[in-house]
């Protein structure tokens, strides 16, 4: 799939079905190699009192995922593009 912020999923997939907010998860980082058949990504969903953080590793068709709750952090846009995780106190200092 070749989706990106400029080319969202709903434009790439003609039969896409979705429920709820598919943009709730924010991509923190991703690395992949098609020739070596691997991909790693980290996504986070801000839930107010912390974040759910999901890591995904795909290697030669095998997929492993883990999700955990991290208290007292939030998702913020990064000045370098994309998103990053910061502590609630750090976010308050940045927004002032």
- Within-domain flag for 5: no
Q: What average pLDDT does range 60-76 have in this prediction?
A: 95
- Within-domain flag for 20: no
Spatial distance between the Cα atoms of 49 and 42, rounded to a whole number of angstroms? 19
**Residue 96: pLDDT above 80?**
no
- Within-domain flag for 18: no
- Within-domain flag for 53: yes
Task: Report how many domains make up the chain.
Answer: 1
**38 CB contacts (<8 Å, ≥6 apart)?**
32, 57, 58, 59, 60
Residue spans of beta strands (DSSP E) within the chain: 26-33, 38-46, 50-59, 62-71, 73-77, 83-87
Q: What average pLDDT does range 22-37 have in this prediction?
A: 92
- Within-domain flag for 14: no
Residue 94 has what pLDDT? 59
**Residue 45: pLDDT above 90?**
yes
Q: In the structure encoding, which two tokens stand for residue 45, read together? A: 């969903």
Q: What is the residue range of 60's domain?
A: 25-95
Q: In the structure encoding, which two tokens stand for residue 55, read together? A: 């890591």
pTM for this prediction: 0.76
């Amino acid at each position: 799939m070749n989706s990106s912020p400029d080319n969202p999923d709903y434009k790439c997939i003609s039969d896409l079905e979705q429920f709820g907010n598919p943009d709730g998860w924010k991509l923190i980082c991703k690395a992949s190699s098609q020739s070596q058949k691997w991909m790693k990504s980290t996504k986070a969903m801000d839930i107010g009192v912390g974040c759910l953080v999901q890591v995904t590793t795909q290697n030669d068709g095998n997929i492993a995922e883990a999700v955990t709750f991290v208290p007292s952090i939030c998702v913020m846009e990064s000045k370098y593009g994309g998103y990053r995780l910061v502590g609630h106190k750090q976010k308050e200092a940045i927004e002032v």
